[in-house]
Amino acid sequence: MDSDRIALTMQDILEKEFKVDARGYRMQEVDQFLDIIIHDYNEYNNIIKELIKERKSLELENADLKQEVRDLKSTMDTLKSGEKEITNVDLLRRISQLEKIILGREQ
């Protein structure tokens, strides 16, 4: 974790002892300590938000890569089968390419 962004550890909070005045703990000391805790809490929230955003980005990238692998496997399978099996999709691609060539030259 980003230890340079967080001032206190759980152990620091647990072991914190305040000096006692005649009326109890010194309010200024307690307030200062609580300010540090609030700052750390805010930093933890910021770190969590950053990690969630990074995780979502990585999940999208992972999904894209998985789809690319599936597409490549499909292409490899098609290439392995060679010209033995011509599918409708292959025929449509060839027709489309021929149309582009013919129509492109007529214009």
- 71 phi, psi to nearest 5 deg: -65, -45
pLDDT at 105 over 80: no
Structural domains of the chain, count: 1
**Neighbour count for residue 78 (Cβ, 10 Å):** 13
pLDDT band at 10 (very low <50, low <70, confident <90, very high): confident
In a domain, 42, yes or no: yes
Is pLDDT at 61 greater than 70 in this prediction? yes
Residue 36 lies in a domain: yes
Q: Tell me which residue of 77, 75, 106 sits closest to 93, measured CA to CA.
A: 75
pLDDT at 47 over 90: yes
User: Higher pLDDT residue, 2 or 5?
Assistant: 5
- Residue 5 forms part of a structural domain: no
For residue 89, the enclosing domain spans 10-106
